[in-house]
């Protein structure tokens, strides 16, 4: 066998893999959440199915984020402490980008698990908090681009593009004011006749 032995880098590979899974799961959860917030699709029963996908991908993302951080503890090259993977900006390796990733991880846990506390904090307050989920995705993307070892790989750039375009589109659709709905031509004609 030529080249490095992958078994010598098992913890690092496990962390990288979990990070990719976390990015995909969070991205899918955000896409589905934004679809529901935009009222898409409009088919009967779609919201219930989308809610199940949204919840399960959010939970999978939280587990993958935890695995991404914890498996770094076994990486002999990075050799982080528990506090370095838990406290933002304390790790020596690309501290700004790893710090932003840690903040994104804690924010994901806070916002994701708040779903189960919404009865206690109130639905309106929970919805206001939950809107910050887009920040989790944005922090994850910044973390991947600035701190990820795969950021220059075509497959990672494809993941970022294929998930980023719908997220940005749906987010803008959600926050930008909508034009006045177009009225059918027949309704305009009736109003025109009545005005004469």
- Measured CA to CA, the distance from residue 192 to residue 196 in angstroms comes to 7
Tell me the two tokens of residue 186. Answer: 């027949």
Query: SS3 of 189, please?
Result: helix
pLDDT tens column, 62-118: 999 999 999 999 999 899 999 999 999 999 999 999 999 999 999 999 999 999 999
Where in the chain are the domains?
A: 6-195
Query: Residue 185: pLDDT band by 50, 70, 90 thresholds?
Result: very low
pLDDT of residue 1: 53
60 CB burial (10 A radius; 0-12, 13-18, 19+): middle
Q: State pTM to two decimals.
A: 0.87
Least confident of 42-51, 109-118, 173-182: 173-182
């Amino acid at each position: 066998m030529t080249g490095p032995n992958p078994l010598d880098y098992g913890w690092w590979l496990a962390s990288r893999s979990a990070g990719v899974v976390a990015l995909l799961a969070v991205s899918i959860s955000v896409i589905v959440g934004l679809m529901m917030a935009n009222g898409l699709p409009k088919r009967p029963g779609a919201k219930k199915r989308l809610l199940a996908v949204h919840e399960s991908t959010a939970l999978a993302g939280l587990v993958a984020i935890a695995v991404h951080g914890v498996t770094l503890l076994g990486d002999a090259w990075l050799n982080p402490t528990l506090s370095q993977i838990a406290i933002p900006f304390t790790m020596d390796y690309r501290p700004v980008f790893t710090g932003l990733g840690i903040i994104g991880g804690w924010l994901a846990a806070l916002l994701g698990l708040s779903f189960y506390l919404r009865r206690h904090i109130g639905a309106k307050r929970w919805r206001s908090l939950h809107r910050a989920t887009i920040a989790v995705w944005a922090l994850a993307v910044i973390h991947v681009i600035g701190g990820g070892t795969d950021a220059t790989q075509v497959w990672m750039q494809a993941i970022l593009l294929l998930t980023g375009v719908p997220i940005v589109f749906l987010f803008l659709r959600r926050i930008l004011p909508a034009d006045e709905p177009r009225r059918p031509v027949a309704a305009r004609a009736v109003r025109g006749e009545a005005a004469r």
